[in-house]
Structure 1
Amino acid sequence: MNSTAGNFPGIAAGQRHHQRRDPLFWLAAACSAVIVAFILVPLVEMMTQPTLTALKETLMDRDVFRSIRLSIVTAGAAAAISLVFGTPLAYLLARHRFPGKKILESVIDLPIMIPHPVVGIALLSIAGRNHPIGRLMQAVGIEIMGTVTGLIAVLTFVGLPFYINTVKAGFVEIPPRLEHVSRSLGASAGATFFRVTLPLAWRHMVVGGIMCMARAVSEFGAVVIVAYHPMVAPVMIYERFTAYGLKYSQPVAVWLILVCLVLFLLLRVFSLDRKAAA
């Protein structure tokens, strides 16, 4: 290796250059350190302030435990709904070109951009007695305001774009020729989708579901408009903070951060497995 570098002075010079590191590397390292500190310092400070006793007592509090459980359950329901209704739409966007496709993709991404209290207000506006949809919902016994159904509707609204975009990317990565081979062998479009496409895209579906659930479990702005009660974890944190201050809100926040951390660990695990499989 040394003789090769001696025969090619340019290679040796390049190696010495990489050993010294150029200024751009140190600039990137400095910016990275600032960003990591900006994220970690407040979170570490908050998570280390409550004692283990306070964390245990908080989790044993029935109201807190119920709110965290409700957050997880409703976020999971939002992910399940996104899977059922979002998967066909993601496949349509990945495999077909049609007039208005860009508009449809923009509409799907709207919940990411608009202020989330607006989401809650928009859902309530169609659920009232003055709206035909609202009258139909009331006729069949569906209530949005202050119900678990309302929570799931809100969380599905804010989490759906994350699921659709992730699964669409997964479908795009699957070579269409595999589906063409299946069709040429006599399989129907439906059989090809369920036997060929979905098995190849299942990791993207899991990752999309986790992203949807992680986004939903942390939602506050839309939830507080539609259903302050029953109380999910973000609303519980807000209530504890406004009523009692940092001391009583921090332990609840720590438990919610741990839930989000578990979700993102799962996200990384499935993402790494998918890259390894590729």
Structure 2
Amino acid sequence: MSKPVRQRTKGYQYRDLFFWLAAASSAVIVAFIVIPLVEMMTQPTMGALKETLMDRDVVRSIRLSLVTAGAAALIALVLGTPLAFLLARRPFPGKKILESIIDLPIMIPHPVVGIALLSITGRNHPIGRALQAVGVQIMGTTTGLITVLTFVGLPFYINTVKAGFEEISPRLEHVSRSLGATAGGTFLRVTLPLAWRHMLVGAIMCMARAISEFGAVVIVAYHPMVAPVMIYERFTAYGLKYSQPVAVWLILVCLVLFLLLRILSMDRKAAS
């Protein structure tokens, strides 16, 4: 294509009506997300933010959110990775049904998640009686928090890692097996090293989703209080003035997690 034609084509692209419609739509979406968040984050004074950070209850709730969400991500990594590999590599009857079941925690209302978990961990259910027999309590405990957060975060981890396994050529695994490696050895020495970045991204997504959970948490474990519950309680008791600073710190924590996610995603694209 000659230079004048390229210039005309480039100019046409920027004058195209669809381009401007897309740009206007994008601006509306960005404004819809950014304006409320910026307004909320700029209203509290620096003094209020510092005072909130010195509040032991706030620090404890944010730390509990990070610890329980991190535990949920670790559980998802250990238990979800083999399932993600199975879904990526093996066709089997009912696979689409299984994938739909895995995605259910994304779609169903999260208070329903809390009610469902309590219904199987109560005294009237065999699972609940078995848990109580070994001293495991779900209602109002850190164990209950981790259970809820794992439930809502698993789909994000499994789907991300499944996509990562699908990007790896099966021929590499076949070569490893042809050289005498076992299926387990091939998975540990070939597949996992190639998929580690997807696993890390999936864990961050699972953790970020878990940190933001509220609906299921308030049903299963209002106490000990995680950050979203702390924000809700302070809003209902004291209003915006005392809830906004806590929300700002939680947003900053989530922002750091998603910055890590974007950095890892950029590195993955550069490596591919």
TM-score where L is the length of structure 1: 0.96
**Partner in structure 2 of residue 72 of structure 1:** 66
Counterpart check, 1:202 vs 2:200: no
| Alpha-carbon distance between aligned partners in 1 of 2:235 and 2:29, rounded to the nearest angstrom | 27
Counterpart check, 1:260 vs 2:254: yes
Q: 2:245 aligns with which of 244, 251, 265?
A: 251
**Partner in structure 1 of residue 84 of structure 2:** 90
**Highest CA radius of gyration, 1 or 2?**
1
Q: 1:35 aligns with which of 29, 35, 55?
A: 29
**Partner in structure 1 of residue 140 of structure 2:** 146
Change (3 A) 1:146 1:17: same
Shift in Å at residue 11 of structure 1?
4.6
Question: How many residues were matched structurally?
Answer: 272
Unpaired runs of 5+ in structure 1? none
Aligned structure 1 segments of 4 or more residues deviating by more than 3 angstroms: 10-13
| Alpha-carbon distance between aligned partners in 1 of 2:80 and 2:11, rounded to the nearest angstrom | 52
TM-score where L is the length of structure 2: 0.98
What secondary structure sits across from 1:235 in the alignment?
Answer: helix
| Alpha-carbon distance between aligned partners in 2 of 1:35 and 1:145, rounded to the nearest angstrom | 39
Q: How big is each residue's C-alpha offset from its partner over 1:179-230, in whole Å with a ceiling of 9 and x where there is no partner?
A: 0000000000000000000000000000000000000000000000000000
Q: 1:233 aligns with which of 227, 247, 267?
A: 227
Paired AA for residue 183 in structure 2: A
Shift in Å at residue 169 of structure 1?
0.1
Q: RMSD of the alignment, in Å?
A: 1.1
**Partner in structure 1 of residue 212 of structure 2:** 218
Q: How big is each residue's C-alpha offset from its partner over 1:38-92, in whole Å with a ceiling of 9 and x where there is no partner?
A: 0000000000000111001101101000000000000000000000000000000
Shift in Å at residue 5 of structure 1?
3.5
**Partner in structure 1 of residue 51 of structure 2:** 57
| Alpha-carbon distance between aligned partners in 1 of 2:128 and 2:57, rounded to the nearest angstrom | 31
Change (3 A) 1:94 1:228: same
Unpaired runs of 5+ in structure 2? none
Shift in Å at residue 14 of structure 1?
2.3
| Alpha-carbon distance between aligned partners in 1 of 2:118 and 2:87, rounded to the nearest angstrom | 29
Shift in Å at residue 12 of structure 1?
5.4
| Alpha-carbon distance between aligned partners in 2 of 1:219 and 1:188, rounded to the nearest angstrom | 40
Shift in Å at residue 159 of structure 1?
0.2
